[in-house]
Amino acid sequence: MEIPDMQNQVMGYDRSATMFSPEGHILQAEYAEKAVKLGSASIGIKCSDGVIIIADKGNKDNLVIPESADKIHEIDEHIMASAAGILSDARILINQTRVTSQQHKVTYDSPIDVESIIREISDLQQQYTQHPGVRPFGVALMVAGKNGKDCKLYTTEITGNYLEYNAIAIGQNDEKIKEILRKEYKKEMTIEQGIKLALDIFKRVLGDKFDIQRFNIAYIKNEEGKLTRLKNNELGKFK
């Protein structure tokens, strides 16, 4: 009996998100991770006075209304999220967590904590690596928000894992950005200093393609606990 060549075997293993390859990989999940790497980057930084997310919207057609291409989404007034990868996949996950957040508020008369949101997203992502006939979500999400007296910053992975960070990047050039963050991030930096650091990193990574108007910037302060977005006319001071 003729043994199929390895290429044909791999072709079989990578057609299902529920089948392991002989090397122990779920190939559909790894392909989805590549989709995340193609998405424009976001940087999250936990600061001494709050947490920030700076998201690169990428180069958009000048016929597009800029506000319709925002990459930082409000889950609740104290929680925000950004995504890299297939943004339509992100919309489904974010909408689900918005419902969960509102249900929690109605049921318990208190805001939901940030880890419950990231766990909800991760559980959904993990389910789509277990069932036949579906594909994994091709998106990674960064979630930040107020949790008690402090702010938290998390990211999810395709496989349903999540971790908490002091500073992190998702999307295109994320490894290069994280390498800079490891060297230059300081826990005592303020929100304003964090924004300047993130934009400086984007300048180094994007080079001539850098344009301050292509970024969404939002933050949540420890004291206020509410999402604040910087408007386009407020970004000039960070050039």
Could you read off the pLDDT of 113-139 as tens digits, one per residue?
999 999 999 999 999 988 888 889 999
Instruction: Name the H helices within 50-156.
Output: 87-108, 114-127
C-alpha 20/C-alpha 219 separation (Å) is 40
Confidence band of 2 (pLDDT split at 50, 70, 90): very low
Rounded to an integer, what distance in angstroms lies between the CA atom of residue 49 and that of residue 222? 6
* Architecture, CATH, for domain 36-230: 4-Layer Sandwich (3.60)
What's the pLDDT tens digit per position in 164-176?
Answer: 999 999 999 999 9
pLDDT digits (tens, 9 = 90+) for 133-160: 888 999 999 999 998 889 999 999 999 9
Mean pLDDT over each residue of the chain, to the nearest integer: 90
The predicted pLDDT at position 11 comes to: 61
Whether the pLDDT of residue 5 is over 60: the answer is no
* Confidence (pLDDT) at 68: 79
Angle between helix 174-184 and 191-206 (nearest 10): 140
So what's the pLDDT on residue 90? Answer: 95
Reading the block at residue 116, the tokens are 């419950």
Q: Which residue has the higher pLDDT, 61 or 193?
A: 193
Q: What is the DSSP string of 129-196?
A: TTSTT-----EEEEEEEEETTEEEEEEE-TTS-EEE-SEEEESTTHHHHHHHHHHH--TT--HHHHHH
pTM (two decimals): 0.91
| Cβ–Cβ under 8 Å, residues 115 and 100 | no
Give percent of the chain above pLDDT 90: 71
Token couple for 232 = 């386009």
Average confidence (pLDDT) over 217-229: 94
Nearest to 145 by CA among 47, 196, 221, 42: 221
3 pLDDT more than 60:
no
Q: What is the pLDDT of residue 24?
A: 83
Residue listed under structure tokens 């943004």:
87
* Mean pLDDT of the region 178-206: 96
Domain boundaries, the chain: 36-230
pLDDT of amino acid 22: 79
Q: Is the pLDDT of residue 69 over 50?
A: yes
CB-based contacts of 33: which residues, under 8 Å, 6+ apart?
A: 157, 158
Q: How far apart are CA 80 and CA 217, in angstroms?
A: 11
Single-letter code of the amino acid located at 13: Y
Q: What is the pLDDT of residues 34-55, one digit of tens each?
A: 999 999 999 999 999 999 999 9
**pLDDT, greater one: 236 or 92:** 92
Residue 4: pLDDT band (50, 70, 90) is very low
Consecutive H or E run containing 227? strand 227-229
**pLDDT > 70: percent of the chain:** 95
Closest CA to 111 of 227, 230, 228, 229: 227
> What is the reported pLDDT for 104?
96
